[in-house]
Structure 1
Amino acid sequence: MTIQIQTTIPVLASMNLDESVAFYTERLGFIRAGQYDDYAMVMRDGAEIHFWLCSDRMIAENTSCYVRVASAQKLYEEFVEKGLAVDAPATRPWGMKELYVIDPHGNLLKFGERA
C-alpha cells in the first residue's frame, strides 16, 4: 500500500504578518484562516498559503509559489478591480498562461492555467 500525498501548502516568508494577511485578503481575495505571533494562514477556494515571521527580506525575494487556476485572465480582472497594479497574464513558452504577483515582502506568486 502506498501513502497518498493529499496536498501541498507553501509557507512563505513575511516581514510583517499583519501586512501579509491584509494584502492577501484585501487584494487577492483570500480569507484569514489563523494568525499567531510568528505564523499566519490564509485560504481561498480550498487552497492555503502560510507565512512565517522572518527578518531577512532576501529570503522572500528569492521565493516563489505556483498556484494553478481556472482562468488567469478572470483572476487578473478581479485583482485589478481590487486595486492591484499587475501586468496582464501572458502565455509562456512552457504552455501555461500565467499571472505574476509580487507580495509586499517580495514573494513571487505565479497563477497559471494551461494555455
Structure 2
Amino acid sequence: MLPTSAASNGSAVQSTVPVLASLNLAETLQFYTQHLGFAPLLQLDNYLILQRDGCELHFWPCNDRHIAENTSCYVRGDTAVLHADFAARGLQIAPPVVQPWGMKEMFVIDPHGNLLKFGEPA
C-alpha cells in the first residue's frame, strides 16, 4: 500500500534529488549561493542542502576530486532567465545552445568538478 502522501496525488515518485560530492562544504555553499542563486536549507558539518525555485541539491563531504569530476545532474528550467541571472552574479558562462536532441542547454561546472546541465525543450 502506498503512503498517504503518495496515494493522495496519484504518484508514487514525488521528485529526484541529486546528492553531489563536495571537497569543501563551505566553498560549495559560497559558490552555489553567490553564483547560482541557491539558498541553504540545511548546513551541518557533514551535509549541505541547497534550494532554488523548488530545485533541491544535497552535498556530502568527499576527499576524492575524481568522484566529483565524474558526477553530474540535469536541472530543467528557463535557460535564458538562468543564464542572465548567473551572468549578473558574475559567473562567466556560455549562452544556452539548442542541441540535436531537441533541448536548449547550458552547463556549469562547480569548483569541485560537478557538472550541472540546465535545459528545457527547444
Which of 81, 87, 111 pairs up with 1:104? 111
Match of 2:76 among 68, 72, 75: 68
The CA distance in 2 between the partners of 1:91 and 1:40, in whole Å, is 32
Report the equivalent of 2:121. 114
CA RMSD of aligned residues (A): 1.1
Alignment partner, residue 24 of structure 1:
32
Asked if 1:54 is matched to 2:84, the reply is no
Could you tell me the percent identity over the aligned residues?
Answer: 57
Structure-2 separation of matches of 1:37 and 1:73: 35
Structure 1 counterpart of 2:55, which letter? A
Q: Which residue number in structure 1 is paired with residue 49 of structure 2?
A: 41
The structure whose Rg is larger is 2
C-alpha separation between the residues in 2 aligned to 1:91 and 1:73?
A: 12
Q: 5+ residue gaps in structure 2?
A: 7-11
1:81 to 82, 88, 91: 88
Question: Alpha-carbon deviation of 1:40?
Answer: 0.3
Q: Quick one: which of 90, 97, 116 aligns to 1:90?
A: 97
State how far apart, in whole Å, the 2-side matches of 1:12 and 1:30 are: 15
Query: Post-superposition, which runs of at least 4 consecutive aligned residues in structure 1 deviate over 6 A?
Result: none
Gaps of 5+ in 1: none
Q: CA deviation at 1:67?
A: 0.4
TM-score normalized with structure 2 length: 0.90
SS in 1 for 2:33: helix
User: Shift of the alpha carbon at 1:85?
Assistant: 0.9
Where is the helix percentage greater, Structure 1 or Structure 2?
Answer: 2
Aligned length: 114
